[in-house]
């Protein structure tokens, strides 16, 4: 899957409400504050994990926003792409400032990013674990792309609806072999160096599938409790994966390990469409694009030949 820019700009019709003075008026550009309210409607900050840092990182709420870019990571390359396109707002899944800092001097990578954003007038907004947990979030999109039905969270959100929480588990319409399902996983993800790693019998049948976009090795207890035949997630470390396979019952759950970046990139086009729809309903016009920058940190991989 290529990572071509996804344009979700909406030439919205004005909302039919008393707040719109002229029903025939052209849609207007929102302020950053209005955009933040739309983002909160879709991905409430109350759904974020306690350790997380989400919300506005840089930008003035009164600033007018005509272009928004979505990306996984707020890297300098992504920030430069947003600035070059003319985006006044960059929405990223991963936080720029997750851990405490004592300086944003421009001689550090994060300080340079903050200076670049402020000096260019580009706001930065983070939608992280609230975007994981919400309906239509990262794992929902992954589950849908893999054809799962009757989907439910692996762990429910403390402050959300029953269908909100981290990870998802659901069923395929029909059982398929692990090898064939791994090929399906590979086929829906953007191309990155790490590819797809699989642990389990290639010819073993799977039907109940658990997924977690991003790093999900903290959810093995929930995966086992869900009765999943297979767990698809990212960043599986050696010991966590080894212990999970040792604890397997009837060799289940099998494991599929994918790129952290790739597993979360799938959400970006869906998020862009969702935000565009909310703004259109409010009679607001903004051009929305998904970053085409591959911010996966790995560039190439060497593997043994053969099957």
Crossing angle for the helix pair 138-145 and 267-281, to the nearest 10 degrees: 110
Q: Note the pLDDT tens digit of each residue in 245-257.
A: 999 999 999 999 9
- Give the long-range contacts of residues 217-223, CB within 8 A, separation 24 or more: 217/241, 217/244, 219/154, 219/155, 219/166, 219/167, 220/244, 220/247, 222/154, 222/155, 222/167, 223/154, 223/167, 223/169, 223/253
pLDDT in tens, 103-149: 899 999 999 999 999 999 999 999 999 999 999 999 999 999 999 99
Rounded-to-integer distance, Cα 220 and Cα 226, Å: 10
Residues in contact with 262: Cβ distance below 8 Å, sequence separation at least 6, in sequence order: 189, 190, 192, 194, 234, 296
In this structure, which topology does domain 135-258 adopt according to CATH? Answer: 3.40.1390
DSSP 8-state symbol, 50? T
**Angle subtended at Cα 106 by Cα 101 and Cα 110, rounded to the nearest 5 degrees:** 45
Mean pLDDT of the chain: 91
**pLDDT, greater one: 9 or 305:** 305
pTM: 0.89
Output the six-digit token pair for 130: 């609230």
* Rg of the chain on CA atoms, in Å: 20
| Length of the chain as a residue count | 307
**170 vs 12, 162, 204, 226, 229, CA distance in Å?**
35, 15, 18, 9, 10
Q: Any residues with CB less than 8 A from the CB of 118 and at least 6 apart, and which?
A: 58
Sign of CA dihedral 191, 306, 241, 244: positive
pLDDT band, very low/low/confident/very high, at 3 (cuts 50, 70, 90): low
In whole angstroms, what is the distance from residue 162 CA to residue 120 CA? 41
CA-to-CA distance for 102 and 283, rounded, in angstroms? 41
Q: Is the pLDDT of residue 68 over 70?
A: yes
Beta-ladder partners of 89: 68, 123
Per-residue pLDDT at 24 exceeds 80:
no
Pick from 197, 201, 189: which is nearest to 256 by CA? 197
List pLDDT tens digits, range 179-213: 999 999 999 999 999 899 999 999 999 999 999 99
Which CATH code of 3.40.50.300, 3.40.1390.30, 3.40.50.1780, 3.40.190.10 fits the domain covering 32-131+264-290? 3.40.1390.30
- Could you give the CA distance from residue 176 to residue 307 in angstroms, rounded to a whole number? 20
Residues of the chain with CATH 3.40.1390.30: 32-131+264-290, 135-258
Per DSSP, the three-state class of 91 is: strand
Q: Which two tokens stand for residue 14?
A: 């004005």
Tens digits of residue pLDDT in 250-290:
999 999 999 999 999 999 999 999 999 999 999 999 999 99
CB atoms near residue 111 (< 10 Å)? 14
Question: Any idea what the Cα angle at residue 95 is, between residues 93 and 101, rounded to 5°?
Answer: 175
């Amino acid at each position: 899957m290529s990572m071509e820019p996804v344009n979700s700009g909406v030439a919205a019709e004005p909302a039919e409400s008393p707040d719109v003075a002229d029903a025939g008026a052209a849609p207007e550009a929102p302020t950053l504050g209005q955009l933040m309210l739309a983002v909160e409607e879709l991905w409430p900050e109350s759904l974020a994990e306690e350790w997380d840092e989400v919300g506005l990182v840089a930008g003035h709420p009164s600033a007018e926003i005509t272009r928004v870019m979505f990306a996984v990571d707020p890297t300098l390359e992504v920030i430069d792409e947003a600035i070059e396109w003319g985006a006044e707002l960059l929405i990223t899944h991963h936080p720029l400032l997750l851990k405490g800092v004592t300086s944003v001097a421009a001689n550090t990578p994060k300080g340079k990013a903050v200076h670049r954003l402020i000096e260019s007038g580009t706001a930065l907004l983070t939608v992280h674990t609230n975007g994981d947990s919400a309906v239509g979030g990262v794992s929902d999109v992954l589950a849908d792309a893999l054809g799962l039905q009757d989907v439910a969270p692996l762990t429910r959100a403390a402050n959300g609806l029953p269908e909100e929480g981290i990870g998802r588990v659901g069923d395929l319409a029909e059982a398929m072999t692990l090898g064939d399902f791994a090929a399906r996983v590979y086929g829906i993800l953007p191309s990155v160096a790490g590819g797809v790693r699989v642990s389990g019998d290639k010819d073993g049948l799977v039907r109940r599938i658990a997924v977690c976009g991003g790093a999900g090795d903290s959810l093995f207890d929930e995966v086992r409790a869900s009765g999943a035949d297979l767990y698809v997630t990212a960043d599986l470390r050696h010991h966590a994966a080894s212990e999970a396979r040792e604890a397997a019952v009837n060799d289940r759950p099998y494991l599929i390990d994918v790129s952290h970046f790739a597993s979360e990139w799938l959400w970006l086009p869906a998020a862009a469409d969702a935000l565009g729809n909310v703004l259109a309903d409010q009679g607001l016009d903004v051009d929305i694009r998904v970053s085409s920058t591959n911010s996966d940190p790995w560039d190439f991989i060497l593997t043994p030949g053969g099957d």
